Amino acid sequence: MLKFLMYLLFMIPFCGLSLLSWYMVQIMLFLLVFMLMFNIVLNLNMENIGMGLGIDLMSYGLILLSVWISLLMLMASIGIKKFSFNEGFFLCMVLILLMFLMFTFSMMSMIGFYVFFEASLIPTLILIMGWGYQPERIQAGIYLLFYTLLASLPMLIGVLKILKDEGTLEFCLMGGLEIKGFLMYMSLIGAFLVKMPMFIVHLWLPKAHVEAPVSGSMILAGVLLKLGGYGLLRMFKLMVGVGMKFNFLWISISLIGGCLISCVCFRQVDMKSLIAYSSVSHMGMVLSGLMTLNGWGLMSAYMMMISHGLCSSGLFCLSNICYERTGSRSMYINKGMLTLMPSMSLWWFLLCSSNMAAPPSLNLMAEMGLFMSLISWNLINGVWLGLMSFLSAGYSLYLYSYSQHGKLYSGVYSFSGGMLSEYMLMLFHWIPLNILVLFSEYFYLWL
């Protein structure tokens, strides 16, 4: 694992070297993706162990997703390169964020995981505050910071309590450990519920998404929301007994909240805001599947995290492509895009259909697994899941039809179709999302 991290570390000096540094870093990230693909982990135990780091199949998938999304972030942020807007510093921030994420997913001790889980917040905050679009980005950054830090302090206390009681924080040495007591349970999962984000503590997410640059939105939706899910998957191995007592609470909040948030999506006129709220709805489904603690739920939640990361990131890219053309993300102004950018409408259609879990996307397979898990847990969940699925199709269609059809806004005088790099960007989002269905057994191996 250390070799990949050293590879990333030695890329940082290239950030400010020459005019070609942007493309050089992109090519080196492509190479890193291929290196990771050739080092695929199919063992259920930890591999590539060294210096307190190691990866199993669960962390392998999320590390690969992190590198892939970081690469696509650079492809989407070509405007920063074009206008020479501190591009060296931007590259440096993306690489540092990627390094922190790789550390988080490969840490074998609980305290190391906590440190890098929190450290990933700093580069994200700098991305939002440094390259955001509006003055409100400062407030959005503060919201993000305080929501996350407030919930994380109890977790640190909980982790130190485990160290005091058990004498170790290594995940692999905690096989038979069972955490008891509601306070410990709450302190260990609270930070992850905010990071997911669960309905009620989700208010930081739409603000952060709307104010963030396209790269910030992509990494937020693609990977940072998955930190919460990954943390819960690791922690619930220690809290099965207490989880079976109290998890019904989070399942009910997530499912009812998911339906309410889906209704909120219909009221949005800002494209980015709509996609951000749809993320909250999807992560609610992931959270409730996770909380059932059965095999189908855990495996399908993991699959949904991967598929949502690719799909949501692609939709944020599309909204940014429209924003760069018209100077607005409002649906009233971005109407009738079918006549201006007909080729881009195909990508809108493909990604909106994946967002509503149409075949052959990975979202469909994940949703089917989550449906089975939650309905077998309690039959009444079927009502909320059916409603959430119906509303999900509704707001995806609303987003597609409102932005692609209708009468053109008269203020749009000059226009250019999509560039080749933009079509490549969409292709790189869509292909893994639909090809991974053929390799779905890997998503079921890790448990």
> For residue 434, which amino acid is it?
N
Q: How many domains does the chain have?
A: 1
DSSP class of residue 408 equals P
Q: How far apart are the C-alpha atoms of 145 and 162, rounded to whole Å? A: 26
Give kind and range of the element (H or E) at residue 113: helix 110-119
Greatest alpha-carbon pair distance for the chain in Å reads 68
Nearest to 120 by CA among 367, 128, 6: 128
Q: Which residues pair with 330 in a beta bridge?
A: 270
- What does pTM read for this prediction? 0.95
End-to-end CA distance of the chain: 21
Q: Which two tokens stand for residue 211?
A: 């104010």
What local confidence, expressed as pLDDT, does residue 18 receive?
65
> Do 309 and 226 form a contact (C-beta atoms < 8 A)?
yes
Q: How far apart are the C-alpha atoms of 196 and 316, rounded to whole Å? A: 18
Would residue 336 be called left, alpha or beta, if left means φ above 0 and alpha means ψ between -120 and 50 degrees? left
> For residue 95, which amino acid is it?
L
Q: How far apart are the C-alpha atoms of 83 and 100, rounded to whole Å? A: 28
What local confidence, expressed as pLDDT, does residue 309 receive?
95
> For residue 321, which amino acid is it?
I
Q: Which residues of 332-342 are buried (b: 16+ CB within 10 A; e: fewer)?
A: ebbbebbebbe
Domain encompassing residue 105: 1-445
pLDDT values of the chain reduced to their tens digit, one per residue, 447 residues: 888 999 999 998 888 776 678 889 999 999 999 999 998 888 778 888 888 899 998 999 999 999 999 999 999 998 888 888 888 899 999 999 999 999 999 999 999 999 999 999 999 999 999 999 888 899 999 999 999 999 999 999 999 999 998 888 998 888 778 888 899 999 999 999 999 999 999 999 999 999 999 999 999 999 999 999 999 999 998 889 999 999 999 999 999 999 999 999 999 999 999 999 999 999 999 999 999 999 999 999 999 999 999 999 999 999 999 998 888 899 988 888 888 888 999 999 999 999 999 988 999 999 999 999 999 999 999 999 999 999 999 999 999 999 999 888 777 665 677 889 999 999 999 999 999 999 888 888 877
> Do 332 and 409 form a contact (C-beta atoms < 8 A)?
yes
Nearest to 352 by CA among 301, 306, 403: 403
> Do 124 and 227 form a contact (C-beta atoms < 8 A)?
no
What local confidence, expressed as pLDDT, does residue 431 receive?
95
Q: How far apart are the C-alpha atoms of 32 and 64, rounded to whole Å? A: 9
Q: How far apart are the C-alpha atoms of 231 and 233, rounded to whole Å? A: 5
Q: Which residues pair with 270 in a beta bridge?
A: 330
> Do 347 and 277 form a contact (C-beta atoms < 8 A)?
no
Q: How far apart are the C-alpha atoms of 154 and 376, rounded to whole Å? A: 33
Could you please report the per-residue DSSP string of 235-291? Answer: HGGG-HHHHHHHHHHHHHHHHHHHHHHHHHHTT--BHHHHHHHHHHHHHHHHHHHHH
Q: How far apart are the C-alpha atoms of 63 and 81, rounded to whole Å? A: 26
Could you please report the per-residue DSSP string of 202-246? Answer: -THHHHHHHHS-HHHHHHIIIIIHHHHHHHHHHHGGG-HHHHHHH
> For residue 239, which amino acid is it?
M
Could you please report the per-residue DSSP string of 335-376? Answer: --HHHH-HHHHHHHHHHHHHHTT-TTSHHHHHHHHHHHHHHH
Nearest to 71 by CA among 126, 140, 11: 11
Q: Which two tokens stand for residue 296?
A: 């189908």
